[in-house]
A and B are shown apart, each in its own frame.
Chain A
Amino acid sequence: MGYFDDDTKEMLEVYLAEAGQLAKQLSGVLFSAEDKNEFSGEDIHAVFRIMHTIKGSSAMMGLNSLSSLAHTLEDLFGYYREVYGKIEEAEPELYDLLFAVSDYIEGELSRMQEDDYAPGSTDELQNWAETYLRRVSAGEEVPEAACETVSEVSVPGELKQKAGTVVRILFESGCRMENVRAFMLVRQIKGLCSDLETYPADLETSKDSAGYIGDNGVFIRFQSSRKDEVIQVLSKGLFVAECRVMWECSREEAAKGTAKAGVKKEGEAKEPDFLNVKTDRLDKLQNLSGELLIQMQALDSYLGEKGLDELREGTAHQINRLISEVEHTVMQMRMVPVARIVPSLRKILRDICKDTQKEAELIINCGDIEADKSVVDYIAEALLHLIRNAVDHGIESPEERTEAGKSRKGKIIFTVGNTVGELRISVSDDGRGLDEEKIKARARERGLFHRPEEEYSAQEIQSFILHPGFTTNAQVTEYSGRGVGLDVVKKIMEDAGGHLYINSEAGKGCTFTITVPLTLATMECTRFRVGDYRFSLPARHVFHFLDYGDSKKNIQKANGLEYILFQDRMLPFLDLHKVYDIAGETPATGIIIYVRGTEREGCILVDSMYQQKRIVIKQLPQLFGSGFRQHTGINGCSIMGNGKICTALDTEILIGNYIHAGTVKTEEKKTL
């Protein structure tokens, strides 16, 4: 028997979705406030609103202690809102309290669907919140708050009756002749406005208005097609301390009397409707659209074989087009901003900095890039490890940094970019970089060198840290030393069809770059045949096709490997008959495909080409083992229209393995 009764159980799904979103919003507000070192009026209102909603919905679910905790925090932020308006340089304790509450809520939400769920105790948090509220409201050691020099004044009623924007202008204290200053401001914007009035009204002649404006500011109502410009002019006016939009009202709203206060921009008023959809339903829809795509390719192939061209080019073509649209729409529905993982990165950074007593700031260069939800979930997990690793191994203590002539606070830069169909994410720190000597020593102990050490490139040595169980930390801490971490990142990237690259410079820092497809569901692929085998490569890696017959003269052998002269460069030449030991030889009519991945490029020789298609990449059977991709350069399968299965190749690993095999062969030759 679970905690929730039948009635509340029915509401649990909705509660979890809503409270989950609120918890995320809360984290977002907290990180942004901590970054700015200030709770703006909007931030205070947001926390108040979040707590208010959690209070109500939790009470409805019978989660009384959570409701009570939210109520106390609602009171706290209600107090801030009414008394201070904003909080500058809030006490660290306030952030700690709110983060602790945020963690508690997230923890509870993650357990609520378990059969044996029982609410965790809030006693400690409740006590903390109440004590804090009492202290703040009693005025003891009140955090330095931006007490406004004037009392909160609402927009005068007469201005609310008419259409337009109402702003309130506060002048710097002691500027004197506030009515004249206001009059001059109004003159400055007159040419930009179609309608304009002020409160107090008679600015130029009424000296009494100076006292009112000094205490409360001047209210200006205006209508203008260049609203932003008007606000900018007002903000930059002489002696203007603050220009705040207090009221917005369209002509229709003015007529109906339905205007609302707020500072929303014009564009925000037309927000589209959103609907929460369970992810598993989207997953199912995506699988179905993928299966439709496969079946349609089978039908297309069948119609072609039977010579039913009229049907193929008519109805079947239309259905095919519609299926592609469905598939594309589903893909778009699943796209989420990569920036959604930023709060959790900030959270882990905050926690680990606190525990390791290091200082680091996270700089986000994320833009509005989107990727499939499952891809974002994959990379979120990987990035948590990378951030932990950056602080624990990379960033030095503030003292060490000062001694090394660096700023006390380390920098971790999170950058997201996208190329065609691929997401490229990097996490760079300005710490000490990888210690190659330590890595070598550990690699020696573990017997990871398979050829003379001095012949390993810096990148190959750095890659040792991706081996399972590899650690250079003698001490086991909460965050590292167990050798669990970067191998997990590598595994996650492999599961998502991506790659991980390391670039480190001693004393200057380390950059981990991950590349991963924007969506895992379907991929535009170039497909080809070699003997009885079918293969595909991501179309985004394919740049040129060459005739094998014409290019034979450009193929050279060196150190047991074949190379081809292409655009004045000698590139690895992979004859897949030889690479995969496939019977037969490529005919003279064969095709050479020039491919370029993130790090590697080469030319691949194939027997013949199929049409380029958007295909569903299916996972390899589990029985092939987790090392299959790395050993073979094969990373998935797809089903062709004729029912045959096409092997998906990983450009980077395929070329990497080929070059590596060449190196091994060279070594063998030298030994002989």
Chain B
Amino acid sequence: MESGHSDEILCIPGDRRNYGIELFQVVEICSSLQISKVPCLPDYYAGVCNYKGTIIPVVRLWEEGEAESGDRDMMIIVREQNFQMGIPIGRSPFIIKAAQSERIENVRTFIESEVWAVKEIYKKDGELYLTIDMERTMENLVIYPV
């Protein structure tokens, strides 16, 4: 596999927007990790959790309340270089092959969220999946760089 690129995308369905994470960046999908609040975190941070003895930040893919429509209590643990974080999800994720999906052009013109940077957009079974540019996203997530 080419370093930093994966043919397999883990898709996370949402109410208004679907996201995708390249599979090589997914460390684990966990259920029922307890989220604790920490002061001074921006709104997109849900808090922190204890993942195998390490405290990792938990970041919302959608705005608060938006993803609560799902009935699953799961967390995707992702890693980009030294950074690790958890992403809570309410619906079961699934994997698609990039090669078997339609790649949408002109990604740059797509309006990005404040935090989540988009790398690619794929269309599969009529649904769009915004593949996250994890490197840029992690840069956006740093709260106090200095």
By the criterion CB–CB under 8 Å, are A626 and B146 in contact?
A: yes
Inside 8 A of A534's CB, which chain B residues have their CB? 36
Q: Of the listed stretches B8-16, B53-61, B116-124, name the one at the interface; the rest are far from the partner chain.
A: B53-61
Query: Which residues of chain B from 71 to 118 have any CB-CB distance to chain A below 8 Å in the complex?
Result: 82-85
By the criterion CB–CB under 8 Å, are B82 and A622 in contact?
A: yes
By the criterion CB–CB under 8 Å, are B146 and A618 in contact?
A: no
A642 nearest CB across to chain B (Å)? 9
Does A543 reach chain B (CB closer than 8 Å)?
A: no
A618 and B39 contact, Cβ closer than 8 Å, known pairs A468-B146, A623-B141, A625-B146: no
1/0 per residue B127-139: CB within 8 Å of A? 0000000000010
Does A581 reach chain B (CB closer than 8 Å)?
A: yes
By the criterion CB–CB under 8 Å, are B39 and A621 in contact?
A: no
Inside 8 A of A646's CB, which chain B residues have their CB? 36
By the criterion CB–CB under 8 Å, are B142 and A621 in contact?
A: no
B56 nearest CB across to chain A (Å)? 6
Q: Which residue of the partner chain, among B49, B82, B144, contacts A645 with CB atoms under 8 Å?
A: B49
Inside 8 A of A532's CB, which chain B residues have their CB? 37
Inside 8 A of B37's CB, which chain A residues have their CB? 532-533
Q: Which residue of the partner chain, among A580, A626, A637, contacts B40 with CB atoms under 8 Å?
A: A580
The binding surface of chain A is classed by DSSP as: mixed
Q: Which residue of the partner chain, among A294, A625, A627, A647, contacts B38 with CB atoms under 8 Å?
A: A647
From A291, A624, A634, A646, name the one whose CB has the most chain B CB atoms within 10 angstroms: A624
A625 and B39 contact, Cβ closer than 8 Å, known pairs A619-B55, A637-B55, A644-B34: no
B88 nearest CB across to chain A (Å)? 15
A296 nearest CB across to chain B (Å)? 14
Does B46 reach chain A (CB closer than 8 Å)?
A: no
Inside 8 A of B55's CB, which chain A residues have their CB? 618-621, 637, 639, 645
By the criterion CB–CB under 8 Å, are B40 and A632 in contact?
A: yes
Name the residue on A nearest B142 (C-beta).
Answer: A625
B85 nearest CB across to chain A (Å)? 6
Does A587 reach chain B (CB closer than 8 Å)?
A: no
By the criterion CB–CB under 8 Å, are A622 and B83 in contact?
A: yes
Q: How many angstroms between the C-alpha atoms of A509 and B85 in the bound complex?
A: 47
Name the residue on B nearest A636 (C-beta).
Answer: B55
Inside 8 A of A580's CB, which chain B residues have their CB? 39-40
By the criterion CB–CB under 8 Å, are A623 and B39 in contact?
A: no
Inside 8 A of B48's CB, which chain A residues have their CB? 621, 637, 645
Q: How many angstroms between the C-alpha atoms of A532 and B38 in the bound complex?
A: 9
Q: How many angstroms between the C-alpha atoms of A625 and B142 in the bound complex?
A: 5
Inside 8 A of B65's CB, which chain A residues have their CB? none
Does B145 reach chain A (CB closer than 8 Å)?
A: yes
Q: How many angstroms between the C-alpha atoms of A634 and B57 in the bound complex?
A: 14
Does B31 reach chain A (CB closer than 8 Å)?
A: no
Inside 8 A of A624's CB, which chain B residues have their CB? 57, 142-144
By the criterion CB–CB under 8 Å, are B40 and A621 in contact?
A: no
Does A569 reach chain B (CB closer than 8 Å)?
A: no
Does A628 reach chain B (CB closer than 8 Å)?
A: yes
Q: How many angstroms between the C-alpha atoms of A522 and B59 in the bound complex?
A: 28
19 A–B pairs (Cβ distance < 8 Å), ordered by A: A294-B53, A580-B39, A582-B39, A623-B57, A623-B143, A624-B143, A624-B144, A625-B143, A625-B144, A625-B146, A628-B144, A631-B40, A632-B144, A634-B38, A644-B36, A645-B47, A645-B50, A647-B38, A647-B39
Which residues on A are within 8 Å of B, measured CB to CB?
A: 287, 291, 294, 468, 532-534, 580-582, 618-628, 630-632, 634, 637, 639, 643-647
Which residues on B are within 8 Å of A, measured CB to CB?
A: 34, 36-40, 47-50, 53-57, 82-85, 138, 141-146
**A-B contact sample (8 more), CB < 8 A, given A621-B56, A625-B142, A645-B38:** A580-B39, A581-B39, A622-B82, A623-B85, A623-B138, A624-B143, A639-B55, A644-B34
